[in-house]
Amino acid sequence: MIYFSKISEREGTIEFEINKFKLFLNLPKIILFEKNKNKTVFVLDRILENWKYILRFIQSHPNYKTKICKLNITNFRQKDDFIITITWSVNNNLYFWTNLEDLIKTASFENENLNFRVWNDWWIYQIWDENIMVKNFNINIWWNTILESSAIEKYEMQKERINQLFQNSQIKDYLFETTIYQQILVMLVTWIEVYWKTRFIELLDEKNINDDNIIKKFIPNKLINYIEELNDMNNWKEKVLKILYDRRINFQNFEDFKSAFNKWFSINTWSFDNLKKIKEIFQIRHKIIHTKNDMAILNQYEMNNRWEQPKLLNNDFVKKNINIVDDFINNFHKMTL
């Protein structure tokens, strides 16, 4: 018996003996265990790959790529002892098979397609498989969403959409290209905001923070009725969600973004080198949405000086900003883990 409630999500070792007869039944897949500790899911199964019997250990978490260890056990049918040792850590997972004569070791590899999710602390859902990629998903029961893609998964899905637009925009038609480029910049900003808000909500659960004093920092004292309404709510997370949905914290506002992550989770948002460049992308998006003029020339309002050269909204500019946003999101996400 393995007590998964007592193991560590980040690193550990388990050793056990497996019934050899069960492993070699002529079935495409046999699940030996599928358990979770918080949001981390551990799976041990036996699958068939190219007519070989493969023992597969899986470790899955919403914020990381899934780690998979595989061990070909096809030639082990005649072995009497079948003892397996599995170790896992932040960097690597290892598989050991041993008896008195042999020691075989395999290391893990990362797979972004196969994922597992946990609902209500113990219901486990598999999100597709090794060779089938799903970037965005919702699981609903009676019109209520119980599970959905994580913040980083939502961003990766939208990044794929943006890359598709960018790669197919270059048809040597100036009007078409600049229209697509402006739309890409608008999408980039939208999905930065979506990532920030979604990741903020995720961190409320992950960090298990419950402090009304933090809430007070975002609500002016003059809003007496609003404060009383919050005080009548018993669930702390519901209070925070209400503040978000009422836009008391606005993730379109840079100061709100920095203050929210710093005060709630002690994340130093000022430490990012390219935060200034992200702010510039926000400003360009604002001009695209609200200006009366076309933004194919980015500095058109600064060209009163005859020496000022036009900055064109072109392929290189858009590609550079896609990469800036991608680097920023990935580095920020690592800081939140």
**Cα distance between the two ends of the chain:** 31
**pLDDT (0 to 100) of residue 97:** 65
Choosing from 74, 94, 127, the residue where a domain stops is: 127
pTM for the full model?
A: 0.82
The total number of structural domains in the chain stands at 2
Domain end, chosen from 127, 142, 161, is at: 127
Statement to judge: residues 190 and 78 lie in one domain: no
Determine the distance from the C-alpha atom of residue 67 to the mean position of all C-alpha atoms in its chain, rounded to a whole number. Answer: 15
Q: Do the domain assignments include residue 51?
A: yes
Q: What are phi and psi of 273, to 5 degrees?
A: -65, -35
Q: Which of 30, 10, 8 is nearest to 21 (CA)?
A: 30
Q: Do 14 and 48 belong to one domain?
A: yes
Q: What is the pLDDT of residue 81?
A: 64
State whether 248 and 169 are in the same domain.
Answer: yes
Q: What pLDDT, on a 0 to 100 scale, did the predictor assign at position 294?
A: 82
Give the mean pLDDT per block of 10 residues along the chain (337 residues): 80 81 85 91 92 91 89 79 80 67 77 89 86 83 87 91 88 84 93 93 81 75 81 81 85 86 85 85 90 79 69 88 95 91
Give the range of the structural domain holding residue 87, as residue numbers without chain letter: 4-127
- pLDDT, position 132: 82
So what's the pLDDT on residue 332? 93
Q: What is the pLDDT of residue 63?
A: 84
**Do 154 and 122 fall within a single domain?**
no
**Residue that terminates a domain, selected from 127, 160, 186:** 127
**Is residue 135 domain-resident?**
no
Phi-psi region of 119 (alpha: psi -120 to 50; beta: other; left: phi over 0): beta
**Interatomic CA distance for residues 271 and 130, integer angstroms:** 36
Is 90 contained in some domain? yes
pLDDT score of 303: 66
